[in-house]
Amino acid sequence: MRINNISSLLNLKGVFVKNIINHDNLIEIFVETKKKKQICPYCGNITSKVHDYRTQRIKDLPIHSTHSVIILRKRRYVCSCGKKFYEKLTFLPKYHRMTSRVYASIVNSLKSNYSIKSIAESFNISSTTVIRILKLINYSCFSLPEVLCIDEFKGHSGGAKYHCILVDPVNRNVLDILKDRKTHVLSAYFRNFKDRSRVRYFITDMWRPYVDIAKTYFKNATIVIDKYHYTRYNIWAIEGVRKRIQKSLPHKLRKYFKRSKKLILARKDSLDDESKKELDIMLLYSEDLRQAHYIKELFYEFTEAKSSVEARELLIKWIKIARSSGIKEYVSCANTLSNWINEIANSFDVPYTNGCIEGFNNKIKVIKRNAFGFRNFENFRTRILHCCN
pLDDT for 156-204, tens place per residue? 898 899 999 999 999 999 999 999 999 999 999 999 999 899 999 999 9
> Nearest to residue 99, comparing CAs of 55, 138, 54, 62?
62
Q: Given CA atoms 130, 131, 132, 138 in this order, what sign does their dihedral have?
A: positive
Separation between Cα atoms, residue 246 and residue 359, nearest integer Å: 33
- The answer to whether 163 and 157 are in contact (CB under 8 A) is yes
pLDDT at 12 (0 to 100): 78
pLDDT at 73 (0 to 100): 92
Task: Determine phi and psi for 206, rounding to 5 degrees.
Answer: -95, 50
Determine which helix (DSSP H) or strand (DSSP E) holds 51, and give its type and residue range.
strand 50-63
Name every residue whose Cβ is closer than 8 Å to that of residue 250 and which is 6 or more positions away in sequence: none
What count of other Cβ atoms lies within 10 Å of the Cβ of residue 18? 12
Q: Where are the alpha helices (DSSP H) in the chain?
A: 2-10, 100-109, 116-122, 127-136, 183-190, 208-217, 227-247, 251-259, 261-265, 273-283, 287-303, 308-325, 328-338, 341-346, 355-370, 377-388
pLDDT at 4 (0 to 100): 60
* Residue pLDDT, tens place only, 63-88: 888 999 999 999 999 999 999 999 88
In this model, does residue 14 exceed pLDDT 90?
no
> Nearest to residue 245, comparing CAs of 275, 289, 186, 198?
289
* Residue pLDDT, tens place only, 307-360: 999 999 999 999 999 999 999 999 999 999 999 999 999 999 999 999 999 999
| Total residue length of the chain | 389
- Residues 278-301 have a mean pLDDT of 94
Q: Is the CATH number 3.30.420.10 carried by domain 147-226+352-388? A: yes
- Residue-wise burial string across 266-305, b where 16 or more C-beta atoms lie within 10 A, e elsewhere: eebeeeeeeeeeebeebbeebebbebbbebbeebeebbeb
Domain extents in the chain: 2-97, 147-226+352-388, 227-346
pLDDT at 35 (0 to 100): 87
> Nearest to residue 194, comparing CAs of 151, 141, 152?
141
- Average pLDDT in the chain: 92
pLDDT at 389 (0 to 100): 85
* Residue pLDDT, tens place only, 30-63: 999 888 889 998 999 999 999 999 999 999 999 8
pTM score: 0.85
Percentage with pLDDT > 70 across the chain: 99
The secondary structure of 117-157, three-state, reads HHHHHHCCCCHHHHHHHHHHCCCCCCCCCCEEEEEEEEEEE
Residue 60's DSSP bridge partners are 68
Q: Given CA atoms 139, 144, 148, 153 in this order, what sign does their dihedral have?
A: positive
Separation between Cα atoms, residue 317 and residue 384, nearest integer Å: 43
pLDDT at 95 (0 to 100): 84
In this model, does residue 1 exceed pLDDT 60?
no
- The answer to whether 179 and 163 are in contact (CB under 8 A) is yes
Range name among 92-96, 102-106, 174-178, 237-241 with the lowest pLDDT average: 92-96
Separation between Cα atoms, residue 225 and residue 149, nearest integer Å: 10
Name the pLDDT band for 125 (thresholds 50, 70, 90).
Answer: very high
Burial class from Cβ neighbours inside 10 Å (0-12, 13-18, 19+) for residue 237 reads: buried
- The answer to whether 16 and 29 are in contact (CB under 8 A) is no
